Structures are given as structure tokens and as C-alpha cells.
Amino acid sequence: ADVQVRVHEMLPARVLVGPGAVRLVGGEVERLGARRALLVATPSASAPAGEIAGDLGPRLAARFDRPAPHTPVAVTAEAMAVVEEASADCVVAIGGGSAIGLAKAVSARTGMPQVAVPTTYAGSEMTPVLGETEDGVKTTRRDPALAPGTVVYDPALTLGMPRGLTRTSAMNALAHAVEALWAPDATMVSDALATESVTGILAALPEVLDDPSGTEARARLQSAAWLAGICLARTRMGLHHQLAHVLGGAFDLPHAELHTMLLAHVMAFNLPAAPAAASRLSRITGTGDPAAMVAELARAYEGPTRLSELGVPRAGLPGVAERVAAAPYPNPRPPTAAEVQDLLEAAW
Ligand code: NAD
């Protein structure tokens, strides 16, 4: 039926944002009434994780330093053994989406509250979604209880991101906002957030790439990515995320690089069928061809820019195309398997 009513729900998250916010994590754990925190950190965040550990003092029960991309269930099992051994009652995660995903997986199995301290722009901290992999298959679940109740955005944690990761992670965030603009369940709120997010990312990213240690532009980029994370949480993602999901799960690919190489191709495919999104993006970019602008940002990446360079076998593309075309997700231009394959060949 042609239902006109749309639902906009906000997740109740407490967000602390600004330089120095990381020093408030210990106080946030105390505020939750927790006494035995498990601290999950990626090696890239070992220095600030050490600071958090110091601030937690006796509230630190255990550490786990080996989160892996796409939340493999075997890694979660290792973390669960630590949780049980330490009788942890809350989980603090610092790092990219891999660390935050592991904290969600632990919380899903224990009900423990989470404090998320993101160091990339992936946006997982804003979502009630957990994707887990087992035997090359990624399964995703959605539950409001999975969203971290406390999120701490400290731009200082992003100053050391290399240029390459900065670009790909920002493109990952951009993809959330772009797909929100053509989502069937978009609302005035998600449109506003997505527009502000795309505007912020496209303005701040070049400044940050010019001067990666400039705190002010880093803070703007991080906040634009925060909005993109809300877009990801609030709207149903389309073809772009379906492609990233199936490819990433099947070939164990780096998440942000994959988003970077796909986004412009999906925009070129979808925008002719998504006039409202196209006109917003044209206004933001000041060009009639926003996909070309995004393609240029992706092409300038110093790392791999094609699926072939990530080791995806060409012979694997038809199978991916079949799965993506058959999967149930909304897209302004529902693709056939042949169209998906053409798109994949172009990205390959
Ligand atoms: P990641 O967490 O794997 O980090 C990528 C690499 O960057 C790692 O080597 C990490 O150590 C390093 N790194 C992280 N922050 C850094 C920093 N500030 N400086 C230097 N190096 C740094 O990758 P990601 O792109 O942040 O997240 C991707 C993962 O998150 C995927 O598994 C994806 O599926 C998941 N994700 C989930 C959701 C969701 O809503 N469930 C949303 C987005 C991403």
C-alpha cells in the first residue's frame, strides 16, 4: 500500500564532543554505576587507551586489544572469556568500527552498558546495528539495545590518522549520508542531517588532507561523520551498503577502502532515479555531476582504488551480483543482476 506516514525515532545516546573529551571517559563509567570495565582498544589507540586505563583506576577490570574487522564470532568468543574471567560489568571501546563492533557483540551477549570512543569516521557508535562474520558470511542484527548509550567524540584522537585512512574513512561516512538522501524512509530530520553531513565532509576533508594535524578542521570532519552515523542508524541503506556488505563478507575486504571505491559508481547509477537527492547533492557540490566529484576524491587515494587491487577475483563478481540483486533492500533504482555486474566490473 502507498503508506505516507514515516517514523522518525531517535536513539537515547549521551554524546560528549570536543577536544579533551577522552579524559571524561572514567567519569562516564562511574556515572553508569559500573565498577568493572572491560577496555577494548585497537593497537592504533594504545596511547589514549592507556590514559583511559589510568583514569579508570580500580574500575578497570580487564583489557582486550585484538578486535578484528567485521566482528568475527571467534574473536568475540575470546573477548567473552576475558569478560567472564574478570566479571566485567561494562565495556569501553576505543578505536575504529572494529573495536566498537566488538563492544556491541559483547554487550549483545551480556547486556552490559557501553561507552564508545571512536577514532575513525565509520559511525558504528551511532547505530543499533551489529554485523558479525562466521565462515565468510556476514549477518547483521538490529536492536536498539546494541547502540552504545554513551559516545565520546574527541577530535584529538583523530589527529594521527594517516591521510589514506582519513580519506577512506571520511568517504565511508559520506556514503551513509548520501544513501540517507535517497532512502525511502528519509524524513525532514534525516534530510537535514544528511545535507549538513555531506556539506561538512566535502568542506572539511580537503582541509584535513592539507593539514592532518589541524584540530579545528578535524573537529568539523568528525562532527560531520557523527551526523552521517545518525543517518546510517535512522534510514534504510540501499545498493551501496548492500554491495559493501556482500563483497566485504565474501572476500574479507577493508571496510573503508571498499566504500571509497564503490560510492561514485553507485551514485552514478542511482542519482538519475533519485531526483530529490540529486538536486540536494548538486546544490551542495555546486556541480551538475556530484558523482564525478566523489569519483575524483576516491581516485586521489594513495592506496588501492579498484576491487582487483584488493584481490577480488573477477570470476567472483557474477556471484556477488546475483546475491546483491536478489537481496531485499530499498534502492531508488532496483538493479538487475546484470546491472550490478556492470557496476562491479567498472569498480573492478
Ligand atoms: P577499523 O576499526 O578496522 O580500523 C581500520 C584501521 O585503522 C585499523 O588498522 C585501526 O587500527 C586503524 N585506526 C583506527 N583509528 C585510527 C587512528 N585514529 N589513527 C590511526 N589508525 C587508526 O575500521 P573502521 O573503518 O573504523 O570500521 C570498520 C568496521 O566497522 C567494519 O567491521 C564495519 O563492518 C564496522 N562498521 C559497523 C557499523 C555498524 O553500524 N554496525 C558502521 C560502520 C562500520
Question: Residue 107: which domain range?
Answer: 14-158
The question of ipTM being above 0.85 is answered as yes
Q: Which atom in ligand 1 lies closest to the alpha carbon of residue 71? A: 32
- Alpha helices by DSSP H, listed for 57-158, are 73-86, 97-110
Instruction: Tell me: do 141 and 217 sit in the same domain.
Output: no
Which of 120, 129, 153, 258 should be mutated for ligand 1, with most atoms under 8 A from CB? 120
- Using alpha carbons, select from 19, 242, 227 the residue that is nearest to residue 126: 227
- The CATH number of residue 226's host domain is 1.20.1090.10
Q: How many domains does the chain have?
A: 2
Grid cell 568468543 in the structure block, residue: 77
- Using alpha carbons, select from 53, 52, 50 the residue that is nearest to residue 23: 52
Instruction: Tell me: do 215 and 127 sit in the same domain.
Output: no
Cell numbers found for residue 4? 505516507
Q: Which atom in ligand 1 lies closest to the alpha carbon of residue 256? A: 25
Instruction: Tell me: do 73 and 201 sit in the same domain.
Output: no
Instruction: Tell me: do 82 and 172 sit in the same domain.
Output: no
Distance 158 CA to ligand 1 centre (A): 12
**What is the predicted pLDDT for the residue at 248?**
87
Instruction: Tell me: do 41 and 58 sit in the same domain.
Output: yes
Which of 22, 42, 64 should be mutated for ligand 1, with most atoms under 8 A from CB? 42
Statement: the pTM of the whole predicted model exceeds 0.95: yes
Distance 344 CA to ligand 1 centre (A): 23
- Domain membership flag for residue 61: yes
Instruction: Tell me: do 124 and 178 sit in the same domain.
Output: no
Residue-wise pLDDT tens for the chain (348 aa)?
566 888 888 888 999 999 999 999 999 999 999 999 999 999 999 999 999 999 999 999 999 999 998 899 999 999 999 999 999 999 999 999 999 999 999 999 999 999 999 999 999 999 999 999 898 777 889 999 999 999 999 999 999 999 999 999 999 999 999 999 999 999 999 999 999 999 999 999 999 999 999 999 999 999 999 999 999 999 999 999 999 989 988 898 999 999 999 999 999 999 999 999 999 999 999 999 999 999 999 999 999 999 999 999 999 999 999 999 999 999 999 999 999 999 999 999
Instruction: Tell me: do 145 and 179 sit in the same domain.
Output: no
Instruction: Tell me: do 133 and 61 sit in the same domain.
Output: yes
Q: Which atom in ligand 1 lies closest to the alpha carbon of residue 158? A: 18
Which of 40, 94, 104, 119 should be mutated for ligand 1, with most atoms under 8 A from CB? 119
Instruction: Tell me: do 103 and 169 sit in the same domain.
Output: no
Instruction: Tell me: do 147 and 204 sit in the same domain.
Output: no
Question: Which residues are near ligand 1 (CB < 6 Å)?
Answer: 42-44, 69-70, 95-99, 101, 119-120, 122-124, 127, 129-131, 157-158, 160-161, 165, 169, 172, 232, 255-256
d(CA 297, CA 214): 20
Q: How far is CA 315 from CA 49, 132, 343, in A?
A: 42, 25, 14
3-state secondary structure of 245: helix
- Using alpha carbons, select from 85, 75, 82, 138 the residue that is nearest to residue 105: 75
- The CATH number of residue 118's host domain is 3.40.50.1970
Distance 214 CA to ligand 1 centre (A): 21
Tens of pLDDT along 233-283? 999 999 999 999 899 888 989 999 999 999 999 999 999 999 999 999 999
Grid cell 547533492 in the structure block, residue: 281
